[in-house]
Amino acid sequence: MRKEIYTTITVILLLFYLNACKSNPTSPTNTTTSSSNSASSYYPNGDGTSYRYSVVRTDSVQNKTSGTRTVNYSGTTVVGTVTYQNEIDTTTFLTLINTTRTLFVKDSNGVSLMLDTTGFFDIIPATYKPFISFSPTIKIFQSSFLNGTPWTVFDMSLKDGALSIDLVNVVATYMDNEQVSLSLSSGTVTQSAAKVQYTIKLNIPNASNPLAGIVSSTYTAYAWFVNNIGIVQIQGNATLLDAFTGNGINFADTTSSITQNLINYNIK
């Protein structure tokens, strides 16, 4: 029984994350729509707000691909009783253009991206469903982050009796404030930015022999937030950062890294 569970989890974990950060989300447990001053100032979310970033993706052999990413907050989508904002991400590499829509909500606790669980439970055999639990959102920003207390961004676990495995655990921690130079289209400026570290730990059963043990991997990424602007820079492992930028998570390539720097913005 347990061998079958591990084998199935190894497969569905990949499928689940490839569907993350798109429309048709699972509703969050906290549906408060008010915003604290901290969340509002470090993560502006007015309708019509837009950002443009330069993007450099580096693969395992240090080949670099340059492009751009634009972000637009445009309108809302109501799911059940919850009103979500639409984040439209368009990433361009050479002639390749990829546009995705992410639904997010900002409340008194921070900002969370919604998960698309469409079809997720359909591919899990009914006998396995009771063993799996996961966070309903990806909480990329916590309004009280400046106090230095880590918060859980996302968690997915497998429990079978006395056996408990954290398949995926993502934790964020405020590190410090740094002076960041922004090469904007209007000129270069220096801003004080709050640096947040995101750490993802994967504990996945060995696909070839699930009973042989757990294969653990840890990856890190960073984001810099500026008061009254938002995210000005992200850098680190692409496996984690792709989820934050509307592209899901690709476990097939955990060696790539991403750097994005703000080059233009318009706060509404």
* Distance from C-alpha of 226 to C-alpha of 219, rounded to nearest angstrom: 24
Q: List, run by run, the mean pLDDT of 10-residue segments along the chain (268 residues).
A: 46 41 41 44 94 93 92 93 92 91 89 69 62 83 86 86 81 94 94 94 69 79 95 90 66 81 96
Can you list the positions of beta strands (E) in 185-229?
187-205, 214-226
Helix, coil or strand: residue 92: strand
Q: End-to-end distance of the chain based on CA atoms, in angstroms? A: 54
Question: 160: domain range?
Answer: 2-266
The whole model's pTM is what? 0.80
* Contact call for residues 94 and 67 (beta carbons, < 8 A): yes
* Distance from C-alpha of 267 to C-alpha of 110, rounded to nearest angstrom: 18
Number of domains making up the chain: 1
Helix, coil or strand: residue 150: coil
* Contact call for residues 215 and 167 (beta carbons, < 8 A): no
The contacts found for 36-40 with CB under 8 angstroms, 24 or more apart, are 36/108, 36/109, 36/143, 38/143, 38/144, 38/145, 38/146, 39/106, 39/107, 39/108, 39/109, 39/110, 39/111, 39/141, 39/143, 40/106
Give the per-residue pLDDT at 209: 61
